[in-house]
Amino acid sequence: MKILVTGNAGFIGFHICKKLLERGDTVVGLDNLNPYYDIDLKRSRLKILKKIAAKRKKKYFFFKIDISNIQRIKKIFTRHKFDRVIHLAAQAGVRYSLKNPEVYIKSNQVGFFNIIDLACKFKVPHFVYASSSSVYGDNPKMPFREQSNTDHPRQIYAATKKSNELMAYSYSSLYRLKTTGLRYFTIYGPWGRPDMALFKFTKNILRKKKITVFNKGNHQRDFTYIDDAVNLTLLASDRISHFNKKKTPFKIFNIGSNSPIKLNKFIKIIEKILKIKARKKMFTLQKGDMVSTYSNSSKIFKKFNYIIKTNHCANIAKFIHWYKNYYLK
């Protein structure tokens, strides 16, 4: 298949493209390489994708484009006929949205509209996009299920992700565009984002610097390993026979581990692997943060007969191994 992956220099996008190229698909990647975090890390990911494509003699195209630029995006759709669109490009970061909300409107709403509208007009068979666990917001009832209330987002980032789901439903309802939204729960692993907890904790502990811990480490997160996120994303993207022809072709799935842990325990695992005791700066819960995220992802597990085996110790060790090889050698 020929697949468009937006945000392909990002953490999840990179791993999705890597898997697609390894299995033999043609990949067209888009990314604006914005400076929200280390651009060199993004470029390193792109270099690996280029090497994999060359080694396996697979077609891989990369375009440095901002998805809010409709004219340039339209040229890509005109030039390529896509079997799938996996839309991952977005302005990331919950806390960043508190100070820079306008960036999220441009990327997460205008950009999303551009991609889904073109996917519809060019008759792409299936449009898959990244939503977020943050849409559950102030809902106190856990674990979160797909049918749980999502009417009270805690920040603009979550609000834009909720709006993506609403736009997707309208396109599915009006134009019969098959859409699947994926609510990712705290994805981690090698090549992860520098603004995420595992990356920041590892970096500062190794440098003997204090780590910043909000809510005194008492909040919990449904940490989900990148390999599971990639496998489930591609299962959801590939198999479109599960859409009921008599119903609106719109799906939402949680992608989580179903096994949340407290941040303090997560830090202890990092300390154990590094064999270094963390020095901590404790703070109260930051504005906009959710106290806990706890996924019930049984829907997607059952739909695609997927068994998730969560081993945070082994998976954190894989990240730390990558981090040391990439930054300390």
Write out the DSSP string of 270-303. HHHHHT-PPPEEE-PPPTT--SB--B--HHHHHH
pLDDT in tens, 92-126: 887 788 788 888 999 999 999 999 999 999 999 99
| pLDDT over 70, % of the chain | 100
Q: In which region does residue 19 sit, left (phi positive, over 0), alpha (psi from -120 to 50) or beta (all else)?
A: alpha
The C-alpha R_g of the chain, in whole angstroms, comes to 19
Amino acid, single-letter form, for residue 122: F
**pLDDT score for 243:** 81
| pLDDT over 90, % of the chain | 86
Cis previous bond, 143, omega within 30: yes
**Two structure tokens written together for 259:** 């096994």
Indicate if the pLDDT at residue 210 is higher than 90: yes
**pLDDT score for 94:** 75
Contacts of 301 (CB under 8 A, 6+ apart): 307, 308
- Choice among 157, 184, 225, 323 that is catalytic: 157
pLDDT in tens, 215-236: 988 889 999 999 999 999 999 9
pLDDT in tens, 75-84: 999 999 999 9
CA gap 199, 113 in Å, rounded: 31
Average pLDDT value for residue range 184-202: 96
Average pLDDT value for residue range 244-263: 93
**Two structure tokens written together for 228:** 């599971």
pTM: 0.95
3-state DSSP assignment of residue 266: helix
Give the confidence band of 284 by pLDDT, cuts at 50, 70, 90.
Answer: confident
160 vs 57 pLDDT, higher one:
160
| Strand-pair partners of 3 | 27, 84
Given 3.40.50.720, 3.40.50.10860, 3.40.228.10, 3.40.50.300, which CATH number is that of 2-187+224-258+294-310?
Answer: 3.40.50.720
Average pLDDT value for residue range 223-251: 93
Helices 112-121 + 70-79 axis angle, to 10: 30
Mean pLDDT value across the chain = 94
Average pLDDT value for residue range 208-215: 93
Whether 157 sits among the annotated catalytic residues: the reply is yes
Segment (H or E) for 254: strand 250-255
**Two structure tokens written together for 68:** 């809010």
- Greatest alpha-carbon pair distance for the chain in Å reads 59
CA gap 225, 127 in Å, rounded: 23
